[in-house]
Structure 1
Amino acid sequence: MQNKNKTVVKSMKLLDLFRTNRKLSLNEMVHLSGIPKTSAHRMIGSLEDMGLLSKDEEGKYTLGMLFLEFGQLVADRLDIRQIAYPIMQALRDEIGEAVNLTMKDNWEAIYVEKLDTMHPVRLFTKVGRRSPLYAGACSRIILAYLTEKEQEEYLIKTELQPYGIGTITDKEKLRLVLQQSRLDGYTVSHSELENHTSSVAAPIFDYTGQVIGGISMAGPDVRFQKGQLPILIDKVKSAAAEISQKLGFLGPLK
């Protein structure tokens, strides 16, 4: 903390409130952030002047349009997203299930692209959604391909909370699943992030051989039964391999 500018840190704390709140008043921001009202008022004014916050006629704040511009710039510069999209589209069109693309962001997975299923019954997932690395196939496949040191660092500091009835909350079991996923080149999840949903995922590597993301197919568990899994696994692994190769990965793929 000693090397961080305290005003910048507090400003980010205020902006971070809008991850889970669409609109907030000054008093609400003060209450949720714990920042003194005078300081918060000054920082909010500066953030508004810079276009990072916008105030409506009711006096409530929302994220400013500058975030839309920045967000589009980030999206446009994500090579993996541009490379993966046509491959994801072909996979979705062939199989008919939703296809998701995730990337590692610190100790979480973030969804950077998605294509919805053609079926009327679908899952709710959106670009920008975050999930813990231990839960859900598209997140856990990233964790599976981190180094043993990174995995242990993550497991030591992370409390495994249940999100669905199938979430793995036992660390020894998770270690075994990670090991097997790495041997297999894919992972499967059932009711881990949401009940009665399933997902199949494979890892994506960059030109250095490092795992940078995962691609998955996901849907209601009734469409991911044991007899249907082999074809889904094969297609997801092939898509992941194609994306990795286009990113310059030259190593062997399972």
Structure 2
Amino acid sequence: MTKGRGKGRGSPYRVQVLERALAILETLAGNESEPTLIELSERLGLHKSTVHRLLVVLEQYRLVERNQQGGGYRLGLKLFELGSKAVARLDLRERARPYLEQLVYETGETAHLCILDHGEALCLEKVEPPRSVRVPTNIGQRHPAHCTAVGKALLAFLPEPKLDDLIKRQGLRAYTRNTITTPAQLKEDLERVRQLGYAVDNEEVEEWLRCIGAPVRDYSGEVVASISIAGPNFRLTDDKIPMLAKVVIETADQLSAELGYRGASSQAGVGEVSQGQVGL
């Protein structure tokens, strides 16, 4: 009995298909003209039927487009969209860095910049103070959105259908005894975030760690990121949270203005936080 070609995840066959698809994209990127199927087949040294199958899939994902008149192929607009998002993230990180440094200087705590990516809080930047207590986070690391300050500052401004879908897909896993684990509790929590202008992680991921986060808006008013400070519970105490939250919101507003936002400041939402409200 002969063995079929391995088509499982990570198999050599799948890797080869991916390499060939990337070779097509690189060939199109390096040509001002729009090569035809036959020309692509010759340049890549692949059979015409193989190249055609790959082009069909790439067209479906809008990664390539076919000129209906000349029959040639060019890069699709989907690549422009993806590239624009990548550039935007790099630009956001570069522009946010001075504000995170300012936040560290004013609070003495670790500062983060995050975005919502596939339902999780993705860390784009981190600035640490010269302190001995290290916050266990890294640039590029993903964190659950429902129990982190940066995550809740982002979730609070999602349309409810998107929030419901995210909860259904991601779930509300418990990390500590303080983690919110029901949709009703989370929605109540996010309503407080909208009212106060900031979110708090009250030892919901790590039992010793507290965080305060605020949303960052772009020129259109859309919440595109969040910033936060994180530190041990003996420094981010209940009585200090309102004062520190004010600094976080001020910094988030300044970064929002840097991104072109001209709306009202979030400062009006800052108020005293009672014992029952600390676990935002």
The two structures have a TM-score, normalised by structure 1, of 0.71
- For 1:138, which of 139, 147, 150 is the aligned residue? 150
- Structure 1 residue 250 corresponds to structure 2 residue 262: yes
Aligned pair 1:181/2:193, yes or no?
yes
Match of 1:236 in 2: 248
Q: Which has the larger radius of gyration?
A: 2
Partner of 2:171: helix, strand, or coil?
Answer: coil
Please say if 1:91 is aligned against 2:103. Answer: yes
Alpha-carbon distance in 2 for matches of 1:45, 1:78: 26
**Residue 115 (1) aligns with residue 127 (2):** yes
Unpaired runs of at least 5, structure 2: 1-5, 25-84, 267-280
Note the C-alpha offset of 1:156. 3.4
1:219 partnered with 2:231: yes
**Maintained 8 Å contact 1:75/1:81:** no
TM-score, L = length of structure 2: 0.65
Q: Secondary structure at the match of 2:234?
A: helix
Q: Secondary structure at the match of 1:222?
A: coil
Deviation at 1:117, TM superposition (A): 2.6
Task: Write the deviation string for residues 161-188 of structure 1: whole angstroms up to 9, x where unpaired.
Answer: 1123322112111110001101111011
- The aligned residue for residue 13 of structure 2 is 39
Query: Are 2:230 and 1:198 equivalent residues in the alignment?
Result: no
Percent identical among aligned pairs is 31
Please report how far the alpha carbon of residue 45 of structure 1 lies from its aligned counterpart in structure 2 after TM superposition: 7.5
Rate the CA distance shift 1:38–1:169 in 2: closer, same or farther, 3 A: same
- The reply on whether 1:209 has 2:221 as its aligned counterpart is yes
Q: Distance in 1 between matches of 2:165 and 2:19?
A: 40
- Would the aligned equivalents of 1:97 and 1:118 in 2 still touch at CA under 8 Å? no
Matches of 1:43 and 1:193 in 2, distance apart?
40
Contact 2:8/2:14 (<8 A) preserved: no
Q: CA deviation at 1:74?
A: 4.3
Structure 1, unpaired ranges of 5+: 1-29, 51-72
Query: Residues of 2 paired with 1:40 and 1:77: CA distance?
Result: 29
Displacement of 1:222: 1.2
SS in 1 for 2:164: helix
The AA in structure 2 aligned to 1:39 is Y
Q: 1:43 offset after TM fit, Å?
A: 5.5
1:75 to partner: Cα distance: 6.9
Q: Name the SS for the 1:243 alignment partner.
A: helix
CA contact (8 A) 1:100 1:215 kept: yes
